Amino acid sequence: MKVLVANLGSTSFKYRLFDMESEQQLARGGIDRIGQDADSNCVVEIGGRTSEVQQRIPDHAAAVQICLDQLTDPQSGCLGSVDEVAAIGFKAVFAGKLSGVRRVDNNLLETMEALADVAPAHNPPYARAMRQLQQAFPSIPLVAALETGFHDTIPEKYRTYSAPYEWKEQYEVQRWGFHGASHRYIGTRMAELTGRDDLKVISCHLGGSSSLCAISGGKSQSTTMGMTPQSGLPQNNRVGDFDPFALRLVKRLTGKDYDTLLDELSSQSGLYGLSGISPDLRDIEEAAAQGNERAELAIDVYTADIKRYIGQYLAVLNGADAIVFTGGIGENSTRVRSDVCAGMDYAGIQLDPEKNESAKGEAKISRDDSRVEIWTVPTNEEIVVARQTVEVVSA
């Protein structure tokens, strides 16, 4: 069975094609600037060969058609025909109580559209693209793997806000959590690497969007993101945790309305807002190394919040067997890993500086005498979605 996994942005489409009998990745590609007045870069990698074309792409359905044309090209493709694609799986984000993994239907799409204000950067492009693909490729099943699904196992005491209970009952206001595919992969992969299925793992997905998850025996027990992906850790340009009552003061002093202030919190805050330099940690680390105090503060705030949540999750799990760093920052920033683990000896967390500096791919970077193992593990959200898609289509 061959499954195409789609990762959508408002103007982008990234994909991977898997042969699920062997879980071999057959191809990967991406298209940008969809629906814009500019040529898109259409890149595909098949069998180690990369090709690129530029053309105008009006919508996501056209992007998928180009993708399928590339994959079925008689000279360079890896498919004989489109009929070989058994399903398209989507790493979808939020649909409230319609969580888990499910076939895409009108009920799901209408729910995603109605809840767009929870995930404004994700729900609208996904729902729009799914509708386009339903019409363009009616014979290919579409499957949505909701990011919230992995967190369905979180106990109510860690999911429930102390707001009026009616908000939870009537409006589904609770800590939903996100990055489910990544945290699920880390829990599964660590069990494979250690040969244990009872591990207590603190998964640190750190990138443009960051979250931590406390995992016990492969199941989510608590996570940093709450009702929306705007909460939890500071993000590249999103605020993370923030006292909402501060908005009343800022509104009065600036004369700005609440929507404007919320837009600022979701687009001009986080690492970008603190540093005033860039939303990219690489730029911020470079500036900090040159003595920029705001850049240094941005890194300090980011790593302090990560450390704060690790302490919380040591309490939730009653200790930990492993802390895992993943995502673009988690896998590549030696400074972030070092700063997070510094001063954690009391909890048996001891980083090996030399291993940390040389780590590539899957690597254990803790000292030999560290009670808690520290790892870097590249995440693979796409294979998780592909596996879930196969389960739904086969059922």
280 labeled part of a ligand binding site: yes
> What is the C-alpha to C-alpha distance for residues 260 and 376, in angstroms, rounded to an integer?
38
The encoded tokens of residue 118 equal: 């929870």
152 has binding-site annotation: no
Q: Cα(242)–Cα(244) distance, rounded to whole angstroms?
A: 6
Any known ligand binding at 381?
A: yes
Q: Where are the beta strands (DSSP E) in the chain?
A: 2-8, 13-19, 24-31, 40-46, 49-55, 85-90, 101-103, 142-145, 200-205, 211-216, 219-223, 322-326, 363-364, 373-376
Q: Is the four-CA dihedral 310, 238, 240, 294 of positive or negative sign?
A: positive
Q: How many Cβ atoms sit within 10 Å of the Cβ of residue 190?
A: 23
Question: Residues 213, 200: contact at Cβ < 8 Å?
Answer: no
Indicate if the alpha-carbon torsion angle 20, 12, 128, 72 is positive or negative. Answer: negative
CA–CA dist 352, 192 (Å, integer) = 23
162 close to 109: Cβ distance less than 8 angstroms: no
233: annotated binding-site residue?
Answer: no
Would you state the structure tokens that stand for residue 114, as one six-digit string? 């109605």
The tokens for 152 are 């369905």
Q: Is 329 flagged in the annotation as binding?
A: yes
| 7 marked ligand binding residue | yes
Distance, in Å, from the CA atom of 375 to the CA atom of 243, rounded to the nearest integer, reads 33
326-336 burial code (b ≥16 CB/10 A, e <16): bbbbbbbbbeb
DSSP string, 280-294: -HHHHHHHHHTT-HH
3-state SS class at 177: coil
Q: How many CB atoms lie within 10 A of CB 274?
A: 20
**Conformation bin of residue 330: beta by default, left when phi > 0, alpha when psi is -120 to 50:** alpha
Binding residue per annotation — 14? yes
- Alpha-carbon span 259 to 266, nearest angstrom: 10
Do the annotations mark residue 256 as ligand-binding?
Answer: no
282 is in an annotated binding site: yes
Query: 341 near 370, Cβ under 8 Å?
Result: no
Q: Which residues carry a binding-site annotation?
A: 7, 14, 280-282, 328-332, 381
Q: Which residues carry a binding-site annotation for Mg(2+)?
A: 7, 381
Q: Which residues carry a binding-site annotation for ATP?
A: 14, 280-282, 328-332
